[in-house]
Structure 1
Amino acid sequence: MATLRQYMKELLRRFVRFEMKSDRVTLDTLAVNVGEQDLLSHRSYSDIPGPKPIPLLGNTWRFLPYIGNFDIRAVDKLSKRLHDQYGDIVKIEGLLGRPDMVFVYDANEIERIFRREEKMPHRPSMPSLDYYKHVLRKDFFQDNPGVIAVHGDSWYKFRSKVQQVMLQPQTARRYIGAIEEASEAFLHRIARIRDEKHEVPNDFLNEMHKWSLESIARVALDVRLGCLDDDADAETQRLIDALITFFKNVPVLELKIPFWKIFNTPTWQQYINALDTIVSTISKYTAAALSRAKNNMDLDKELSLLERVLALEGNTKIASILALDLFLVGVDTTSTSVASVLYQLALHPEKQMLAYEEICNVLPQTDVPLEAINIDNLKYLRACIKETLRMYPTVIGNGRSTTSDTIIGGYHVPKGVHVVFQHYVISNMEKYFPRCHEFLPERWLREDEIHHRFASLPFGYGRRMCLGRRFAELEMIIVISKILQCYKVEYHYEKLEYYINPMYTPKGPLKLRFIER
């Protein structure tokens, strides 16, 4: 026992010593500064309820296989269990090599934190991706590491340079045609892969990933990858597999004992190999796109996002890293969201019929190109998307890292704590959404039904809101409207539960049937 205790102490000492540089970055204040008297008038940090740590292993043991009781594959259920047991604020302390986490389940507190955040809010860090960008592949990223897992001045400078292009609604509208083309290709793919029962194969989610990859490539690089062709290049599937491997390994590396900080674990090696595949593949696509842009003399041609950023900043590295970040976090998230909406519409045929009737009234015939006014008038379909992402948000939580001592939920929370907003649990609370367990898109259209703005935030909020939100929303509404225009979507099997794999998605094969209208 003494030997084991000495071994764990040595591990702990080494974890502290090998803490990633990003965890030491000095940033502006997360929330309003509070004076000493204010801090003294609230309950202490030690009073925040939560699971009790044990000596040496703290609460990290709870994430270990066999002996732990926290399953990282079922964080949704774990989060709800913690809320049921401890209330609207829960502390998980004693995480080896990592800051404490405080879970917040109160929309008012989340609003207060977001409203008062400074110009450089600090998200809970991802030491694994931070290490990849700032140490392992520093030669590639240099002084432009992008916005994912980046904080402080470098994040602010990069975000400031690209958000003018990314967040303006009128910019996204310029790509309706490109997104529609990718959606049409996906419709043809559905027609080819259905069986005699009009049912798609068990790996239909992978087909959705192909569509999302194709759509992003059209918008970001003005390139047709051919992901949905029968003779598609195997490289595109390797890219999709690498993206999935990246996301699946993030919670393992971030929540379990971080042995990867000491030696090259198999999970760490898979993670690095996946990131290297993503970087090398996207870099090849980006270099080809930059070469075409340099030689392009067609003044009437719509510029890609890459070309827009290049024209605005004159920096190929910034444009290339933005493209990389868009692929890194935009493929799985958007495709999983669309798959989830289609599944919910299949489970609720009466809601699907209302969406279809709206589409018939709003959209032109299938051989007439879409226009912005068509998209704007699909209000019920938008409500179906909102309701799906309320009940089953693709990313079930978001957060900030405190950059000074502050008060949250009546408790004094010190600097450096990771505050996690548990959106999945909050958006499925009766007090925020009456009849919360029912799929009711109408709730988003009723003038007499007011929702708390911070009770459902599928794209986050504030300065670190999802940079690709405008494009993701456009991609979702176009592809779903085109599908419903041509097909009735059905599901004839046992209802699926949702789980994290790596996005929040139905657990099991999405054996949807697509019946021609």
Structure 2
Amino acid sequence: MVMAVILLLALALVLGCYCAIHRHKIGATYLKPLLKNTPLEDCYHATPVVPEQQKSRRRRSIWDIPGPQRIPFLGTKWIFFVFFRRYKMTKLHEVYADLNRRYGDIVLEVMPSNVPIVHLYKREDLEKVLKYPSKYPFRPPTEIIVMYRQSRPDRYASVGIVNEQGPMWQLLRTSLTSSITSPRVLQNFLPALNAVCDDFIDLLRARRDPDTLVVPNFEELANLMGLEAVCTLMLGRRMGFLAADAKQPQKISQLAAAVKQLFISQRDSYYGLGLWKYFPTKTYRDFARAEDLIYE
């Protein structure tokens, strides 16, 4: 009985999503013929008349920004669902390039929690936002990181500068960025980063096919290069991720796999339904396991 109710609810949700997305097509195909030759036929074509002066006075809001159709409890995330087959989460660069073509240089994305996300594509618009004077700018946090770190106060004093808001963000920013971004500090790191880049080039030469000159699994190697650079900067030592011949120690391989899983879980939590907020789904368990491995 319970399974039947769940199945009916799922079917109703899918049907509701389809009707909301294709409402114009459904209206023209099914509703219009039903109203033909009836007193209500004119109502189908009726549009509210708004005086031009009233139109000009109306202040446009964030919800007037063009973007995919919003659906209650799903926002615009339905575009990634398998049964719509419109976009793939593994090719997000193609997704946002297509949204730019469809809706223009300013596109609205809406989270299932009804939080609006505005995507800017023009450099001039990006400059306006970045140069806007604001002591406490708001940036939607990575929710799965916030939830996990708040559940472990024994490990984390905050959710991190990327996810904090308000006064705490301002405190972390003033404490960290001055030392990280100073020219003197950056100049001291350049020799170590140059060595990382040289090892990365040597690794690519060793892994590329001698006939086609194609480097297999280039994305994985690029991820290792980024991880090596981060560890060099943050820990002050080389980890050996870019070793071309020597077999990596097990801990090194586990750390690389955990970092990769961390990004996969963040992606799935952001573009999924967000069920991990209510009970520990596989996405949340994989994320927590990766965080624990990196911390330990």
**What residue is the counterpart of 2:291 in the other structure?**
275
Flag the 1:187–1:104 CA change in 2: closer, same or farther, 3 A: closer
Kept in 2: contact 1:58–1:96 (CA 8 A):
yes
Write the letter of the residue equivalent to 1:166.
Answer: I
Match of 1:161 among 175, 181, 190: 175
Q: SS of the counterpart of 2:139?
A: coil
After superposition, the C-alpha distances for 1:458-499 in whole angstroms (9 at most, x for unaligned) are xxxxxxxxxxxxxxxxxxxxxxxxxxxxxxxxxxxxxxxxxx
Other-structure match for 1:132: 148
Matches within 5 A, 1:8-157: 42-54=59-71, 57-67=74-84, 69-93=86-110, 95-134=111-150, 136-142=151-157, 144-157=158-171
Q: 1:56 to 1:261 in 2, by over 3 A?
A: closer
CA shift, 1:189, in A, is: 4.3
Give 1:258's aligned residue.
Answer: 274
- Residue 361 of structure 1 corresponds to none
| Alpha-carbon shift at residue 130 of structure 1 (Å) | 1.0
Q: Larger RCO: Structure 1 or Structure 2 (Cα < 8 Å, ≥ 6 residues apart)?
A: 1
Quick one: distance in 2 between partners of 1:60 and 1:48? Answer: 17
Give the drift of 1:195: 6.0
What's the C-alpha RMSD, in Å, of the aligned pairs? 3.3
Structure number with bigger Rg: 2
State the AA in 2 paired with 1:138. P
Offset, 1:193? 4.6
Match of 2:29 in 1: none
Cα shift readout 1:10-62 (whole Å, capped 9, x = no counterpart): xxxxxxxxxxxxxxxxxxxxxxxxxxxxx955334453333333456453332
> In 2, are the aligned partners of 1:52 and 1:59 still within 8 Å (CA)?
yes
Amino acid in the other structure paired with 1:125: P
Match of 2:228 in 1: 214
- The percent of aligned pairs where both chains have the same amino acid is 24
Residue of structure 2 in register with 1:178 after alignment: 192
Asked whether the equivalents of residues 132 and 138 of structure 1 are also in contact (C-alpha less than 8 Å), the reply is no
In structure 1, the residue matched to 2:258 is 242
Shift of 1:123: 1.2
Contact kept in structure 1, 2:146 and 2:159, CA below 8 Å:
no
Alignment of structure 1 residues 292-307 onto 2, 5 Å: none
Distance 2:249 2:135 in 1: 43
Cα pair distance change 1:55/1:248, threshold 3 Å = closer
Return the offset for 1:259: 0.7
Partner-residue secondary structure (3-state), 1:50: coil
Q: Any idea what SS the aligned residue of 1:91 has?
A: strand
CA-CA distance at 1:169 after TM superposition = 1.9
Partner of 1:481: none
1:363-442 equivalent positions in 2, closer than 5 A: none
Q: Report the more deviating stretch, 239-248 or 188-197.
A: 188-197
Instruction: For structure 2, list consecutive stretches of 5 or more residues without a partner in the other structure.
Output: 14-55
Q: CA deviation at 1:175?
A: 2.3
Residues 188, 262 of structure 1: alpha-carbon distance in 2 compared, 3 angstrom cutoff: same
Using a 3 Å threshold, how does the CA distance of structure 1 residues 87 and 233 change in structure 2: closer, same or farther? same
- The farther-off stretch of 239-248 and 229-238 is 229-238
Q: 2 CA distance for matches of 1:154 and 1:58?
A: 29
Alpha-carbon distance in structure 2 between the residues aligned to 1:62 and 1:191: 40
Q: Which has the higher helix share?
A: 2
Distance 1:90 1:163, change over 3 A: closer
CA distance in 1, matches of 2:208, 2:98: 40
Residue 4 (structure 1) aligned with residue 9 (structure 2):
yes
Q: 2 CA distance for matches of 1:88 and 1:215?
A: 34
Q: For 1:115 and 1:234, locate their aligned partners in 2 and report how far apart those are by CA, in whole Å.
A: 45
Deviating beyond 6 angstroms after TM superposition, the runs of 4 or more aligned structure 1 residues are: none
SS in 1 for 2:115: coil
Q: 1:70 deviation in Å?
A: 3.8
State how far apart, in whole Å, the 2-side matches of 1:222 and 1:235 are.
18
**Structure 1: which 5+ residue stretches go unaligned?**
9-38, 281-517
CA apart distance, 1:105: 3.2
1:83 CA displacement: 2.9
TM-score (norm 1): 0.42
- How far the C-alpha of 1:188 sits from its partner, in A, is 5.1
What SS is found at the alignment partner of 2:154? Answer: helix
Kept in 1: contact 2:66–2:107 (CA 8 A):
yes
CA offset at residue 129 of structure 1? 0.9
Three-state SS of the structure 2 residue aligned to 1:103 is strand
CA distance 1:170–1:266, change in 2 (3 Å): same
